Copies of this chain bind each other. A is one copy, B any other.
């Protein structure tokens, strides 16, 4: 693949958590790059990156790390994308492409774009993939296989830069789609952000009930509750930043969720079994669609393994 048009000479990854370390592993496994530079401000992370052999160069020096890079990908919480861009922008070489992996695009682009020099291109990206685990040890090369990656290039971005980023993600196994940042933020509000918010919320509610002990919540969690605890175990800093930076879309979708929930509560209170049955039948079809599209396992119970018994 040495002469593949999207092959990257030098890739700099800023932030080597779950996503950054998965990109490093995937880029190596798929032979998409010549050289990987790993940049992180946390010495413990850098040490793990060295031990795991994830990169050719490992540094905590942002400017030095990105200086010769052809593609720089920021894999940091979305609240850090603006400040990190400001700090490294002066070191970007002519023709460099800056990208990110943030779950919010509008606010991130507004914070970062003004710092990007004219001689570089900015191609924001969001791979819709992850697990509830964090850190360089949690990553794996196939994380992006068969998952969508959404690009939200600002108007005027050179098409060649968009094509290179698209090619890179396709090389990692992703299906790439392009949309506006505003639409991205609305789509992700319903497919990711509000689901996380209500999962965090129900787990918090359960912890705070005086009438049911925490031990009971844990013991009887196989009734459904435990499904919610997975995404409610996701990285707190990343998710705090997501909600603060996609406020408008999250509150809008949450408003719709609340309206629907009020109607459902009313159906329960007034014994409207037909309304409940109709909704519960309709929602089955959505899961079938997700399984049919290869975005979910068809095995019962997510094919859970390893729980006792």
Show the binding face of A for B, using Cβ within 8 Å.
103, 128-133, 138, 142, 145-148, 150, 173, 177, 186-188, 190-209, 211-212, 214, 216-234, 236-237, 239-241, 243-244, 247, 250-251, 253-254, 256-258, 260-261, 264-265, 268-269, 271, 273, 276-277, 279-284, 286-290, 293-309
Contacts and interface: CB of A to CB of B under 8 A. Distances in A.
Contact of A204 (B129, B219, B283): B283
A221 B194 CA distance: 12
Q: Which of A201, A217, A283 has its CB near the most chain B CB atoms (within 10 A)?
A: A283
A131 B226 CA distance: 13
A289 B218 contact: yes
Contacts of A148: 219-220, 222
A297 B286 contact: no
A128 B225 CA distance: 11
Given A257-B202, A297-B305, A282 B207 contact: yes
B244 A276 contact: yes
A12 B200 CA distance: 42
B204 A190 contact: no
Given A147-B309, A268-B247, A309-B147, A231 B227 contact: yes
A231 B224 contact: yes
Contacts of A130: 222-223
Given A201-B260, A207-B282, 5 more contacts: A205-B257, A221-B296, A227-B227, A227-B230, A251-B265
A150 B223 CA distance: 12
Given A296-B229, A305-B299, A309-B173, A199 B224 contact: yes
Nearest to A229: B287
Contacts of A300: 131-133, 138
A82 B257 CA distance: 34
Contacts of A103: 223
Contacts of A305: 297, 299, 303, 305
Contact of A293 (B146, B219, B277): B219
